[in-house]
Chain A
Amino acid sequence: MHLSPDLWVWVGALLTLFVFSFLFGDNPFYKFAEHLYVGVSVGYMIAIYYWNFFKPDLIEPLFGRGELILIVPLILGLCYLAIFIQKFSWVVRIPMGFVLGWGSGIAIPAVLQANVIKQIQGSLITSQTLAHWNTFVWSIVVLIGVITTVIYFFFSREQKGSLKVVANIGIIYIMIGFGASFGYTVMARISLLLGRLQFLLRDWLGVIH
């Protein structure tokens, strides 16, 4: 065992144990770690926002180099603060309208292209997928999955007869998808635990390498 001489490793280890103590119920140690985490995160974000954005992209060009066009985004940004004054809270609609309009304008075509058109193209059987039996079989599996799953979400007609059979095949695909997601989620949560255990056993206690 080689205990770490680093003070910050000890701080991290104790805070980790404080958080783990929640497994046995809420307690002041957990509360302390939780509040400290929130405070440190916000403080860190404010520092990064200032040094990476406000100073180089607003303060220096506007007040140092006289780029007056930056007054426009500055005023739009300040409008958000109007939400704290009840009488002028309507002003916040101006920057929100700008952001929503701009955001929708760039998001709609991009998302349609990436998530609909390209995905439909990816589901099609092409000469490339026919080139090898392996890709051909999987293309058929994907195509059946896409069609049956979409039909499961077709609610304009009662699902009975052949429509129900197809929709039930869609359910099987959906359940396999849920199962894969659950398996991956279990792995993710265990990974987080393992990361902390590696920190405690290796970096703090020095009992593993």
Chain B
Amino acid sequence: MKIGEILGKIDRRIVFGFMAIVVIVPFFFPLNVTGKVAPPSQQLFDAVEEIQPDSKPLLISIDFDPQSMPELYPMLKAILRHAFSRNVRVCMMALWVTGVGLGEAALNEVAPEYGKVHGKDYVYLGWKPGFAAVVLGMGKSIPETFPTDQYGTPLESIPMMRGVKNFRDIPYAISISAGDPGALTLWIPYVQSRFGQKLGTGMTAVSAADAYPYLQSGQLTGLLGGMKGAAEYEHLVAEAGYSEASKPATQAMDSQSMAHLAIILLIVLGNIGFILTKGRK
């Protein structure tokens, strides 16, 4: 069998095994590949940095589900650590029904690290159906759209929500988004365009490329793209001295880089095999 045919007929299980080795080895022998922080990540960090402590809350929307956790959950935790370390209040909500538990888990994990208390330092509004109806309703009145928080406490009795009526009282909103409904399909058209809400997003890498036009037009003022964006935010938070917690996205970036090199190698080998086979035919 010629080399072209061999390259074109590599058993997929060999490819899977090769990829497994490539991504597992860097966990045990870290290469500490450090990349430059991209401007969109820095912009999101700066936007959170500008929020006044102990004032109006940062709004975070959980627009993802467990399938996107490896990319988006580290982002969420890094943003929460950034906010809580600066005493920025956090108002969290969910537009994806299967994301409700993720938001709760992140708050339960990060808030105790900074001694933050529910109702005083953060509130979890939970989930409501309706997508566009929910955010449009919040533009009119947040307490009318979410009369109670996730745990049934009336919003009017929650100290940090006093004086928070609608988006005019939200200095910055971040949609942690895995698709539709999310930053591009809901928050930009219905919230940023309609109410002029200052908006940032953390997105899965699949949809991050689609977000750049909105960044260029100024509709988004910050963007974290996939696991790399999460790693960059973890780096910024750690560099500023806000957190010494573990950095799961950063830890995975060595494996990510090696996997990319392996895929480039496989693409090159596949094409060489194709060209050699085609030439013989």
- Within B40-90, the residues touching A (CB, 8 Å) are 67-71
Contact between A23 and B252, CB atoms less than 8 A apart: no
User: Which residues of A pack against B, CB within 8 Å?
Assistant: 23-24, 41, 44-45, 48-49, 52-53, 56-57, 103, 106-107, 110-111, 113-115, 118-119, 121-123, 142, 177, 180-181, 184-188, 190-198, 201, 207-209
Residue in A49, A110, A192, A198 whose CB lies within 8 Å of B194: A110
* Interface contacts beyond A24-B13, A187-B226: sample of 13 additional A-B pairs, CB < 8 Å, sorted by A: A49-B129, A52-B100, A107-B132, A110-B189, A113-B193, A114-B192, A180-B209, A187-B227, A187-B256, A187-B260, A188-B204, A201-B24, A201-B27
Contacts of A180 in B (CB 8 A): 209
Contact between B255 and A121, CB atoms less than 8 A apart: no
Contacts of B252 in A (CB 8 A): 191, 194-195, 198
Residue on A with the closest CB to B252? Answer: A194
Is B176 on the interface with A (CB-CB < 8 A)? no
Cα–Cα, bound, A53→B127 (Å): 8
Contact between B208 and A197, CB atoms less than 8 A apart: no
Is B108 on the interface with A (CB-CB < 8 A)? no
Contact between B126 and A52, CB atoms less than 8 A apart: yes
A194 to chain B, nearest CB (A): 4
How many chain B residues touch A (Cβ–Cβ < 8 Å)? 57
A17 to chain B, nearest CB (A): 13
A144 to chain B, nearest CB (A): 14
Contact between A187 and B205, CB atoms less than 8 A apart: yes
Residue on B with the closest CB to A61? Answer: B147
B31 to chain A, nearest CB (A): 14
Q: Knowing A190-B23, A194-B23, A198-B70 touch, does A106 contact B256 (C-beta < 8 A)?
A: no
Is B1 on the interface with A (CB-CB < 8 A)? no
B226 to chain A, nearest CB (A): 5
Contacts of A186 in B (CB 8 A): 260, 263
Contact between B70 and A122, CB atoms less than 8 A apart: no
6 sample A-B contacts, Cβ–Cβ < 8 Å, listed by A number: A44-B101, A53-B129, A122-B213, A184-B205, A187-B260, A208-B27
Cα–Cα, bound, A24→B15 (Å): 12
Cα–Cα, bound, A42→B28 (Å): 38
Cα–Cα, bound, A113→B191 (Å): 11
Residue on B with the closest CB to A115? Answer: B189
Cα–Cα, bound, A56→B128 (Å): 10
Residue on B with the closest CB to A201? Answer: B27
Contact between B217 and A184, CB atoms less than 8 A apart: no
Contact between B206 and A185, CB atoms less than 8 A apart: yes
Which 5 pairs across A and B sit closest by C-beta, in order of nearness? A195-B70, A122-B217, A188-B205, A114-B189, A110-B189
Residue on A with the closest CB to B126? Answer: A52
Cα–Cα, bound, A142→B213 (Å): 9
Contacts of A192 in B (CB 8 A): 67-68, 70-71
Contacts of A142 in B (CB 8 A): 216
Q: Knowing A110-B193, A191-B256 touch, does A184 contact B208 (C-beta < 8 A)?
A: yes
A196 to chain B, nearest CB (A): 7
Contact between A106 and B190, CB atoms less than 8 A apart: yes
Cα–Cα, bound, A110→B189 (Å): 5
Residue in B13, B128, B255 whose CB lies within 8 Å of A52: B128
Contacts of A187 in B (CB 8 A): 205, 226-228, 256, 260
Is B241 on the interface with A (CB-CB < 8 A)? no
Contacts of A121 in B (CB 8 A): 217
Contacts of B251 in A (CB 8 A): 198, 208
